[in-house]
A and B are shown apart, each in its own frame.
Chain A
């Protein structure tokens, strides 16, 4: 089995487009959540969201006229992140030939919801399908983002989109890790993306799981771990990680951020307390134990930081309890734990990838970003309060655990190990 390392990172996050901006925002505890007039106009309960910005100069530099005409937000975010990741890995853009040794698993939760809602559905209903133009299928299809990236970068190995709700991005890392480990590719871009359409927000708003408060102070609206959390703040964006065999990375002298040393993905079968929206506790614990066991590392001695799923819903307390039970830890022994969602909201299908990028950055550079808006820790979470940083902590880290849990009772955990 080949060893797998991370040699490139790319991100389009609500609090920073590009790795440099994202890193600065994480260290400074900067929120990317803003009031969204469109959500108020549509009479949604949640009127704040974390949407990235990408200025026109960047779009003009990255994409051709034809591409700009035919891409929606999930494709734009994903491609920007993937292109940055590619260049961050030291690879030249626009290779003339197909790269048979490199592929991508680039996921999404809701794909081209904006294209479907704004063009496909209304024009079809009006009997005007002839006016749609040529690019609706490639924008609406779930694999649109991976297909778009594959064409830009000339990828010739596996090119596909996965979809596992909020676990999508972390699952993509796992899939790429296993693909390279098995010798089926030298490099894989693992990532995920989610669009910034109100059609994404409205469904969750109807479920009453989005934040009901915060329009007057958007940066305080996303409150994972807090006693006054009122639901998750929706977000959008993309994250990308270049996974590469250690042999290939060393042969070309690539910078190595970290090693993927363990990973696991499972489902609770929606039994034993698990439902479409809630996790089967036993499956969560098994996933945690399996990922850590595969890594050969120990919590505490090696794994000094956990990037939680932690969405600011009623699931936060259960997640902490599952961590303690699954990893057999007394509360005082839980390593540092934070929620990147406190700064960027819940970017849904993009969450796992953006948060894996955050995890690797913190591991590589030896810092732990603050978990915002949880000064009033939930009473059931209080036993681990000392593990929650409210300001940036600077400390060397040997390894970190990323956890993601999604609708469908699915769980994904990855352990990253420092190569320093």
Chain B
């Protein structure tokens, strides 16, 4: 799966949670909570879906303190 395919899967995954802007309008530096108004509580659900979809494990703490 290349970067664009992963991005497409990710955008589809977060679509139910996005309350501001459309997922298509995002760029690589778009913040889920600050820019897309995703409820911070739902980040857990996005992480779980990503782990299942991509067979990965994501640390529970964000790297730079930003989601």
Please report A residues at the B interface, Cβ cutoff 8 Å.
64-66, 69, 131, 133-135
Contact = CB atoms under 8 A, between A and B. Distances in A.
B16 A134 contact: no
A201 to B, nearest CB: 30
B15 interface: yes
A131 B15 CA distance: 21
Contacts of A134: 41-45
A66 B17 contact: yes
Contacts of A65: 15-16
A134 B16 CA distance: 14
19 contacts: A64-B16, A65-B15, A65-B16, A66-B16, A66-B17, A66-B39, A69-B16, A69-B45, A131-B48, A133-B44, A133-B45, A133-B48, A134-B41, A134-B42, A134-B43, A134-B44, A134-B45, A135-B41, A135-B45
Nearest to B42: A134
Interface size class of B (residues with CB under 8 A): 10 to 19
A66 B17 CA distance: 6
A394 B5 CA distance: 66
The 8 A-B pairs of least Cβ separation, nearest first, read A65-B16, A134-B44, A134-B41, A66-B16, A133-B45, A134-B45, A134-B42, A66-B17
A135 B15 CA distance: 17
Nearest to B15: A65
A66 B41 CA distance: 12
Contacts of A133: 44-45, 48
Contacts of B17: 66
Contacts of B16: 64-66, 69
Nearest to B18: A66
Contacts of B45: 69, 133-135
A69 to B, nearest CB: 6
B18 to A, nearest CB: 9
Nearest to B43: A134
A134 B49 CA distance: 12
B53 to A, nearest CB: 14
Contacts of B41: 134-135
Contacts of B42: 66, 134
A133 B16 CA distance: 15
Interface in B18-44: 39, 41-44
A69 B46 CA distance: 12
Which of A64, A66, A131 is most buried by chain B, counting CB atoms within 10 A of its CB? A66
Nearest to B44: A134
Given A66-B39, A133-B44, 11 more contacts: A65-B16, A66-B16, A66-B17, A133-B45, A133-B48, A134-B41, A134-B43, A134-B44, A134-B45, A135-B41, A135-B45
Contacts of A131: 48
A373 to B, nearest CB: 45
Interface string B37-63: 001011111001000000000000000
A136 to B, nearest CB: 10
B43 to A, nearest CB: 8
Which of A64, A65, A131, A134 is most buried by chain B, counting CB atoms within 10 A of its CB? A134
A65 B23 CA distance: 14
Nearest to B38: A66
A127 to B, nearest CB: 16
B58 to A, nearest CB: 11
A383 B16 CA distance: 60
Contacts of A66: 16-17, 39, 42
Contacts of B15: 65
